[in-house]
Amino acid sequence: MFTGIVTDIGTIAQLDQQGDLRARITTSYDTAGIDLGASIASDGVCLTVIELGTDWYDVQISAETVSKTNVAAWVLGKRVNLERALKVGDELGGHIVSGHVDGIAEVVELRDEGDSTRVTLRAPQALARFIATKGSVALNGVSLTVNDVQGRDFGINFIPHTKEMTTWGDVKLGDQVNLEIDTLARYVARLHEAG
């Protein structure tokens, strides 16, 4: 479980397609404090650490995960948002994030608003109903508040701090973004269907 508060930006250092995709991600985390089997959200995807080095960790990514996320577009040198799993007593600064990506949203508009950047994204049709104005979403692992919704499109404002501390400062039109809808929205919709 995560909060969507990014604590490091890693870099894809190695990709090896074996039976599954194996990725090496460099990090500034103290890897001596990471256990094999630990979960680290990498661009919002909960991945299991299978090997460690002094400034890197390796993960194994199933074909299912690759097909449901933007991992298929990872290339050497790509920067990714990182967050270690919650520990009891950690501050919940964002919202509850599982690291289980629901789908991919596309960046369809960028517009500067003061010092912030308004990014409009297009959600897959099946997920659009879960996104609400002033609700939460996780985009590439970052907990964000939705400013407005119009059909499948929704807007997010990125303040300078978020752009500096995450990969959102690198955003471009057409980017494919890992989208995790708010867990609460998912359960409310399910209860509504059952009722």
Within a domain: residue 90? no
Q: Are 15 and 22 in contact (CB under 8 A)?
A: yes
Tell me the average pLDDT across 74-80. Answer: 98
Are both 16 and 45 inside the same structural domain?
yes
- Of the pLDDT bands very low, low, confident and very high (cuts 50, 70, 90), residue 15 is very high
Within a domain: residue 95? no
Q: Are 118 and 171 in contact (CB under 8 A)?
A: no
pLDDT score at 105:
98
Tell me the average pLDDT across 110-120. Answer: 96
Within a domain: residue 47? yes
> What's the pLDDT tens digit per position in 140-156?
999 999 999 999 999 99
How far, in Å, CA of 50 to CA of 22, rounded? 9
Are both 67 and 116 inside the same structural domain?
no
pLDDT score at 67:
94
Within a domain: residue 177? yes
For 77, the 3-state DSSP assignment is coil
What phi, psi does 10 have (nearest 5°)? -95, 175
Within a domain: residue 150? yes
Within a domain: residue 2? no
Q: What is the number of structural domains in the chain?
A: 2
> What's the pLDDT tens digit per position in 28-48?
999 999 999 999 999 999 999
Domain range for 80: 8-84
pLDDT score at 183:
79
pLDDT score at 191:
73
Are both 122 and 171 inside the same structural domain?
yes
- Of the pLDDT bands very low, low, confident and very high (cuts 50, 70, 90), residue 195 is low
Are both 41 and 111 inside the same structural domain?
no
Share of the chain above pLDDT 90, in %: 84
Write down which residue in 84, 116, 141 finishes a domain: 84
Tell me the average pLDDT across 83-95. Answer: 79
Within a domain: residue 67? yes
Which domain CATH number covers 124?
2.40.30.20
Tell me the average pLDDT across 104-121. Answer: 97
pLDDT score at 102:
95
Are both 80 and 115 inside the same structural domain?
no
What phi, psi does 26 have (nearest 5°)? -80, 150
Are both 107 and 166 inside the same structural domain?
yes
How far, in Å, CA of 120 to CA of 111, rounded? 9
Are both 190 and 108 inside the same structural domain?
yes
Write down which residue in 56, 84, 112 finishes a domain: 84
Within a domain: residue 155? yes
Write down which residue in 23, 53, 84 finishes a domain: 84
Are both 138 and 110 inside the same structural domain?
yes
- Of the pLDDT bands very low, low, confident and very high (cuts 50, 70, 90), residue 108 is very high
